[in-house]
A and B are shown apart, each in its own frame.
Chain A
């Protein structure tokens, strides 16, 4: 067994340990049992010299997974800082706004970091507008988050970011401004400035959609539009997840290569695009995670061999989970990123093969019907057809996350493949013009308007297409009962299929 393989299996064991512990009640004896049996296996590996390496690897893997289980349980412990019985009491608190407040229709929402490091999620009236780094005193009732509906565990959703308390519409007094990390303060003000400029050149709903594309801001969408995105399976293009970043990066690469940029150039431009995008959105932890996954997919395609990035993906996932083990079960964005990455890396070659086979069959079928005369083989162009590339990578990512989406959202979008195919190819160009317009707005009004006009035309097309596909009958089916079956069945099948196809790794690798 090669060292790199051992490394891979140990990382997988760590992730598996966290996964197991996420779904079990905290059972410390079980952790010990796994740990000790692993240790015993490793210790006694010497007795069977023939299989010594294999047995000791299994032993160490068990120990590592026990560590993963322990790591999850440790993180899921009770909150620090505030006394556990503070919920329901009227308090007066002082803290720092520790993220970029999100603005909704009738409220704004931000995190407040208290001196002890405890975070409180504050919901308040839309005005006055608070900003990152401001010191506030809050008077009001502190509450534990409540689950509003049966199908969404809001408590767990907040707990994954260590939020155990919320405050709604407290009395707020601004004490000081300009605290916090200066880098974040700069990034958030850049973001605000940029989206402000952008919205001076684009009307609604185009401006909101562009802000979604460039900054992942979706609070200013109308409820109808959010529903349309869901129906057509296109919400991912405005969500800051690895799914979004990888798909957009792939489409960006395809576009650049379509514009005859050499591959190496396109690769670096796409990487730079991901970095710029991450910074522009304020480099929140979730975005950084997404960006890492996005870069890995690009690297995988550059390397041309998926085996080279297998360890990198496992390592990235393990590192993210080491930082916050609760992501695995409770962060939908993490799950989507991770599976989309797997889909893009492992699924793309399979889909491409299936596509080629299908298109050949279709060509033969059409010829046999006598619809077309047999054509002589034309000399092939050097580059991969643009639409085909976008189609294949979209399908790979979509199929990989399909069970997750059905499980979490209970809807199965039937128009998603075709809607994505209609929209995704123009997304990078749209983003480019949007970015250009926002940037030029700092320089020249006329130039920014010109860029915004081009962006408007593309946005109008995209919004029109989304509206069109959402209105089709049977665009999406509500399948709440399919959830868990789809999740387990889907991934079992995908796992089996991948195993089947990759069973014999090429010895030349």
Chain B
């Protein structure tokens, strides 16, 4: 081993080269994110997982998909040294939105959790709460009117549920799903989670401004979501659907796709396009890239 001394300078040089690489990649990353908000709709199969990266480095994960695929999405979207998420949102406790989050909790430091708090008896929901308690992660129950300021000019607002569902057992868990509006200066994205027609009608009836240029279609593009009246009110330019390749439910259904086409809405689908990434500079959300295979 004494020859280590003789060749030590090579190891030292290698270490320096690595450090330089690390620092420059960090610099480039910060530059690439300056003034821009990234919205990734991960290809996690049949389920939802949406990741928001704010210009100031704040990161939000909305749902975790049905399995560990979300981890590959995060690995691709976050720098390798970053092991923390500022906010994790569970829109509703169904397995195709929840299961991936359990691994996320175990692997990332999570700053805060937003959930609807409805009752649902599946083992992973209990495990999720146990892991949250064990880690001491603060949990906030979602209610209309709550807003999280992610960065300057960037807010995430809760549009639904209209009132707290904590401790209740609604007939359809989807009616208690968390619907979110992401607003970056004048660009807007509406994230519908698994909302179905009743929740869409409720949003329309509430009379708030739900117009958005980008919409994450509710419930994987199922027949029970995305009413015509809803599309009239939202007036989106771009739609994105999170669904699994050859999923057994037939999502998204042709009806919904036809409706979106009739409104002239450009539609992206994770089952076809893989992970879909949008970027906003504060004026509009536009497609950044597609097809990052998980």
Shortest beta-carbon distance, A440 to chain B, in Å?
A: 15
Q: Mark A186-205, 1 if CB is under 8 A from B, else 0.
A: 00000000001001111111
Q: When the two chains form their complex, are residues A128 and B127 in contact, meaning their CB atoms are under 8 A apart?
A: yes
**Given contacts A203-B78, A206-B80, A453 and B72 within 8 Å (CB-CB):** no
Evaluate contact between B293 and A224: CB separation under 8 angstroms.
yes
Name the segment of B30-38, B61-69, B147-155, B231-239 touching the other chain: B61-69
Q: How far is it, in angstroms, between the C-alpha of A106 and the C-alpha of B244 when the chains are bound?
A: 13
On whether the beta carbons of A126 and B106 are closer than 8 Å, the reply is no
Is A30 at the interface (CB under 8 A from chain B)? no
Mark contacts of B48-82 with chain A using CB atoms, 8 A cut-off: 1 yes-contact digit, 0 otherwise: 00000000000000000011110110110010110
B22/A260 in contact, CB under 8 A? no
Given A127-B99, A196-B106, A453-B81: A203 and B71 interface contact (C-beta under 8 Å): yes
Query: Which residues in A have their C-beta under 8 angstroms from that of B122?
Result: 127
Contact across chains for A456 and B123 when beta carbons are under 8 A apart: no
Q: Give bound CA distance, A207 to B69, whole Å.
A: 13
Q: What class of interface size applies to chain B in its complex with A?
A: 20 to 34
Q: State A199–B106 Cα separation when bound (angstroms).
A: 8
Q: How far is the CB of A179 from chain B (nearest CB, A)?
A: 21
**A103-128 CB contact bits vs B (8 Å, 1 = yes)?**
00110000000000000000001111
Please give, as numbers and ranges, the residues of chain A lying within 8 Å of B81 by CB-CB distance: 449, 453
A259 to B75, alpha carbons, bound, how many Å?
33
A485 within 8 A of B: no
The dominant DSSP class at the A interface is loop
Interface residue B294 (Cβ < 8 Å from any Cβ of A)? yes
Task: Verify B67–A204 contact, CB threshold 8 A.
Answer: no
User: Which residues B1-60 have CB closer than 8 A to chain A?
Assistant: 1-4, 7, 18, 21-22, 45
A82 proximal to B (CB < 8 A): no
User: B45's closest neighbor in chain A, by CB?
Assistant: A105
Question: B18 is contacted by which of A105, A200, A260, A454 (Cβ under 8 Å)?
Answer: A454
Q: Once the chains are docked, how many angstroms separate the CA of A207 from the CA of B68?
A: 12
Closest residue of A by beta carbon distance from B122 = A127
Q: Which residue of B lies closest to A219 (CB)?
A: B68
Q: How many residues of A contact B (CB 8 A)?
A: 29
Please name the residue on chain B nearest to A262 by beta carbon. Answer: B1
Interface positions of A from 436 to 453, Cβ below 8 Å from B:
449, 453
B284 contacts partner chain A, Cβ-Cβ < 8 Å: no
| Cβ contact within 8 Å between A205 and B69 | no
C-alpha spacing A201/B80, complex, angstroms: 9
Contacts A106-B66, A127-B124, A222-B72; is A201 near B83 (CB within 8 Å)? yes
Report the bound CA distance from A201 to B107 in whole Å: 8
Note all chain B residues with C-beta closer than 8 A to A220.
68
- Among B3, B22, B102, B107, chain A packs the most CB atoms within 10 A around the CB of B107
Min C-beta distance of B106 to chain A, whole Å: 6
Q: Which of B3, B4, B67, B83 contacts A126 (CB 8 A)?
A: B67
Which residues 188-221 of B sit at the A interface, judged by CB distance below 8 A? Answer: none
Taken together as a complex, chains A and B put the C-alpha atoms of A473 and B22 apart, in Å, by 33
A201 → B minimal CB distance (Å): 7
- Contact partners of B294 in chain A: CB under 8 A: 222, 224
For residue A459, which residue of chain B has the nearest CB?
B80
Report the separation of the CA atoms of residues A260 and B1 in the bound assembly, to the nearest whole angstrom: 6
A202: chain B residues within 8 A (beta carbon): 80
Cβ contacts A to B, 27 pairs, < 8 Å: A105-B68, A105-B69, A125-B123, A126-B67, A127-B123, A127-B124, A128-B124, A129-B127, A199-B106, A200-B108, A202-B80, A204-B68, A205-B72, A207-B71, A207-B75, A207-B107, A220-B68, A224-B293, A260-B1, A260-B3, A260-B4, A261-B1, A449-B81, A449-B83, A453-B22, A454-B18, A456-B80
Q: Which 7 A-B pairs have the closest CB atoms?
A: A203-B75, A204-B75, A127-B124, A204-B71, A260-B3, A128-B123, A105-B67
17 further interface pairs, Cβ-Cβ under 8 Å (given A207-B71, A259-B1, A449-B81): A127-B99, A127-B123, A128-B127, A199-B107, A200-B108, A201-B83, A202-B80, A203-B71, A203-B78, A204-B71, A204-B72, A207-B75, A207-B107, A222-B294, A449-B83, A453-B18, A453-B22
